[in-house]
Amino acid sequence: MALLAVACLPPAWVRAEGSSAAPAASNPIEALIEQGTFAMRTSPDDSKRAADQALELLKKSPDPDLEIRARLLVCDYQSERDTAAAQREIAAATALLPQAKRQGLRAGILDCEGDSLENAGDNTKAMAQYTEAVSVAASHHDDEMLASSLYARGYLLGVMGDYASGLIELRRADNLFEKLKKPLHALTTLNAIATLYNRMGDFVQARHIYTRALAAQRQAGLPREQVVTLHNLGRVNENLRDWDAARAAFNECLEISRTINYSRGEAYAMRGLAAVSNATGDPEGALATLANAEELQKQIPDARLRAQIQLARGVALHKLQRLPESTTALESALVDFRQADSLSELNQVYTELASVYAETGDWRDAYARQLDAKNTSDKLLRNQLDQGFATLKVEFDTATQEKENAALKRQNEANERALEQARKVRRLQAIVLILAISLVLLLTLLAVFQHRSTLRMRMLAMTDELTRVPNRRAVLGRLDALLNRVEPDVCAILIIDIDFFKAINDQLGHSTGDEVLKVVAAAVRSAVSEPAFFGRLGGEEFLIVLPGYGMEQARATGESLCGRIRAIDTTSWFGEHRRITCSVGVSVSVPGRDTPSTMLQRADAALYSAKRSGRNCVRTESVSAPDLGAAAIADA
């Protein structure tokens, strides 16, 4: 089952430069800019007023560097309210660059352009701007601008599903903020890291981080930052289906936003409250709240906010059986989410649309949207699993290095103690032999224990926790070794996918889904014997490797496995009128040329052919001459 990513507020909400308090400056213009920079975390309107005052003074005392900084503050403010006004500030700041001493400020201009593009829903172009900003800041050794640009790029990488790269960028930004002695900026970066945990589905860890951050922001008196964190905390509780906690967070977010006249925060909070109303059986109340949110959203150039409001409207209208209106709202949301390539929201919209079309009797469109939802869910799940593993590897590598350093220190201390003990032993000749024998015995026991622990850890690392069969790493490792023998023989692979597994989870619960996976794994295990082997690829997919099998033998094996799975007794779950079925994709290797990747690609294509053919069947995918050439180039 796909894990839904949490949609959090964009980085423009949290990327104001400045220190933890408005510092004093000898230059009154610089003092106003620093005051405005700090005010971005407390009251955006105050920040705008300070920047405007600085620009008025700069007309009498021109300073290109200070004027660019002041215009970046106005741009940050306008990027959430008036795209045209933000573009005017970008143009004015760009015109000043040739006269500026601090060329790293160009990174700030690029960041503001990226903000505008991201608010418009064009994440690809926004990413290009942030990447150029990082390059500019690094080339000019401007750590302050570099930290800001890394934060922006790291956040957007997480939004686009590249969690591992996003985490690396955010950690780099965090280190720079610590170096620059900007603890509140480091706190903001920690919030962004929590957003990555949200999107990977670790909502409990994300909630813990947001709660800590909120306490620190309250203590520091940063209402604007509290708005951001409260909204994100509400989204986490929304995903955890803790509706009371979600409502409380969104209500507080709304109250603070109104206090500081922050329309964007109000609109996001209202969307959250409408989602809670939908979930708790009050669609009429949701529509009333969304009507207010829409009025505010018309003043805000934020495509993601517009799409989220339309999604919530579509859900409420669906619950009220106003199906044509629901369809219009959902299709409107679909356009924006497609442009932003936001997989989690796309999955929600496709699923909701499929249900609405089904209720209107439009079965063809309902099927098409359900298929879109399945494909999006599969893509999202694969991405979350792959990126989740990569992210864990980043964290594991860091933790491992720290543990190795600590272990070396302990080892040095142990060595010193051992030398002292040895000197004592030499003075006590009478017990030297006993101590030596004891030491040998102890080392032997430790070696045996370590060997057993290593084997046990290896077994755990190569075994799927739920089904207790070999996991993806184990089965692909054996397949790779099989294909890379000195004289490889032909072999076949089968990808088995349980049909309509998401429906089982949704209708009967995850515990039933887990039991189905265990029973299917046991059925496959009983049918596979050495030299054949199998394992779980992930989700509802299993991989079987058949050394020495040609296409016909492999297809026959697939048909046999389909029959074995259909024969599973399901009465305790489904009653008498439903069986477990599976779809199977088959591929046969070309000895000396194929890799696990090329074989999996062909088998996956065959699997999707089986699904398009109505499921509960076996399809094969053979390699063609162009495919062989491509495989040879890839392997080279």
Distance between CA atoms of residues 563 and 69, nearest Å: 70
540 in active site: yes
Q: Comparing C-alpha atoms, which of 348, 273, 334 is closest to residue 306?
A: 334
- Choice among 17, 113, 540, 621 that is catalytic: 540
Q: What angle do CA 165, 1, 228 make, to 5 degrees?
A: 50
CA angle 333/336/342 to nearest 5° reads 100
Return all residues near 587 (Cβ < 8 A) that are at least 6 apart.
Answer: 492, 493, 599, 600, 602, 603, 606, 620, 621, 622, 623
Residues 6+ apart with CB under 8 A from 613: 619
CA atoms in the 13 A half-sphere facing the CB of 127: 18
Element (H, E) at 494: strand 491-498
Distance of CA 221 to the CA centre of its chain: 30
What is the distance between the alpha carbons of residues 342 and 588, in angstroms, rounded to a whole number? 36
Would you give the end-to-end CA distance of the chain in angstroms? 37
Handedness of CA 12, 15, 17, 19 (dihedral sign): positive
Report the distance separating Cα 51 and Cα 68, nearest Å: 11
Integer Cα distance of 521 and 554 in angstroms: 19
Angle at 480 between CA 478 and CA 481, to 5 degrees: 65
Q: Identify whether the C-beta of residue 518 lies closer than 8 Å to the C-beta of residue 581.
A: no
Say what angle helices 83-96 and 64-78 make with each other, to 10 degrees: 170
Pairing of strands 541-547, 491-498: antiparallel
Could you give the residue numbers annotated as active site? 540
